[in-house]
Amino acid sequence: MSENKSTVKDTIEKIVKKDFGIYFFTLDTKGNPTAGVATIYEHVKILRELGFNAQILHDKNDYKLRGDEEGMGIAEWLGEEYAELPHISIESQTLKVGPQDFVIIPEAFASIMKQTVNFPCKRIVFLQSYEYIFEMLEIGENWSAFGINEVITTNENLKKYAESIFRNLVTEVIPIGIPNYFKNSDKPKIPTIAISARDKREILKIVKVFFQKYPHYRFITFRDMSGLPRKEFAKTLSESFLGVWVDELSSFGTFPLEAIKSKTPVIGKIPRMIPEWMGETDENGSLKLIDNGVWVTNLNAIPDMISTMVGLYLEDALPQNVLSKMEEYENKYSEEETRQHIKEVYNRIFSRRLTELGVVDAKETENNKKEEITTK
């Protein structure tokens, strides 16, 4: 990756004409589905539909677009239309960036922020997890030291967190949209529990304890949702009568929202950072959990809660307060809403860049006039 020099006036004209690139640096998950990577691909896809030259930027030439004998690629777990989006590798050294371009860097990649510090393009952090912000930063380092002061994030909690630890940030929020293929099944729910956890050991613990304590529910099937292609993931979730979600480090969490759209109730352990859709502040300023799921504070309580929900499912008596709240959230975080946010937020980003360049251009013009007067 190298820089491509041009004059300020040329740069302004290119941005106005949409003659610039938006490059999203992306981790190669080697076929392992992740919500964070899916969100990046969604931004690229929508921006291209809006007429912008957005591309996926990755490190190595062997980025796994399509599956092989070792596992899936982007085409298999996310979809062929995403695999067909333009991809470019840093290793190929074919990318040239100028001041008209934008490079979007996930919060975990401080190394990329450092490597590009002298590049003329506009660099922006894409913040999806508070857990990885300081993973590659040295003590005392911050994003502004790398010349970065703009951030895109996916929710208000992360925005507040980032602005509480870094000064002078311009932070934009683009909520995650849940794809429309997450929907209720036309057929009756089956006695399957879709379970999702960051740590597989937690899945094993829940399942083993449940069957140990409640052997009469041996007819219940648990389905580990990790590693499933997105469409199969959605189908399994829509068929299941219950979902279980454990992700201590999540700041948003798409699984419960996907389940809600699939009309599948969820039992979930409350994360350290309570997602905005899980809790709301009342008139006294106190945080109150929303009954759009069954939320617990202790992992050990989940097997017992599963047993309770199985009994209610068999009696066709799932909690009405939960089902009603789920209905309220079914149409929130839609693809259409995300598309509109992407359009508005990136247009603001491009406008701010034009303003920055306009200031530089004005100073250059003023300096040139002074030089002309001096020479006369």
To the question of domain 190-329 being in CATH 3.40.50.2000, the answer is yes
Reply yes or no on whether the pLDDT at 285 is more than 80: no
Mean pLDDT of the chain: 93
Report the pLDDT value the prediction gives residue 362, as an integer from 0 to 100: 81
**What is the Cα–Cα distance from 136 to 111, expressed in whole angstroms?**
7
Q: Which CATH superfamily is domain 2-177+335-365 in?
A: Glycogen Phosphorylase B; (3.40.50.2000)
Percent of the chain at pLDDT > 90 equals: 82
Q: Is 370 exposed, middle or buried (CB count within 10 Å of its CB: 0-12, 13-18, 19+)?
A: exposed
Contact criterion met (CB below 8 Å) for 52 and 44 = no
E-only strand ranges, the chain: 2-3, 21-25, 53-58, 87-89, 96-97, 102-106, 122-127, 150-153, 170-173, 190-197, 221-224, 240-246, 266-269, 279-281, 287-289, 294-296
Reply yes or no on whether the pLDDT at 165 is more than 70: yes
Q: How far apart are the first and last CA of the chain?
A: 43
What is the total residue count of the chain? Answer: 376
Task: Return all residues near 135 (Cβ < 8 A) that are at least 6 apart.
Answer: 108, 110
Report the pLDDT value the prediction gives residue 263, as an integer from 0 to 100: 97
- Listed in sequence order, the DSSP H helices in 200-301 are 200-213, 230-239, 255-261
Report the pLDDT value the prediction gives residue 373, as an integer from 0 to 100: 62
Q: Following CA atoms 12, 13, 17, 21 in sequence, which dihedral angle do they give, to the nearest 10 degrees?
A: -50
**Cα separation values, 236 from 205, 225, 271, Å:** 22, 8, 24
Reply yes or no on whether the pLDDT at 37 is more than 60: yes
The average pLDDT across 145-158 equals 96
- Domain spans of the chain, in order of start: 2-177+335-365, 190-329
CA nearest to 243, candidates 314, 304, 294:
294
Question: pTM here?
Answer: 0.92
Reply yes or no on whether the pLDDT at 371 is more than 70: no
Same fold, 2-177+335-365 and 190-329: yes
Report the pLDDT value the prediction gives residue 256, as an integer from 0 to 100: 97
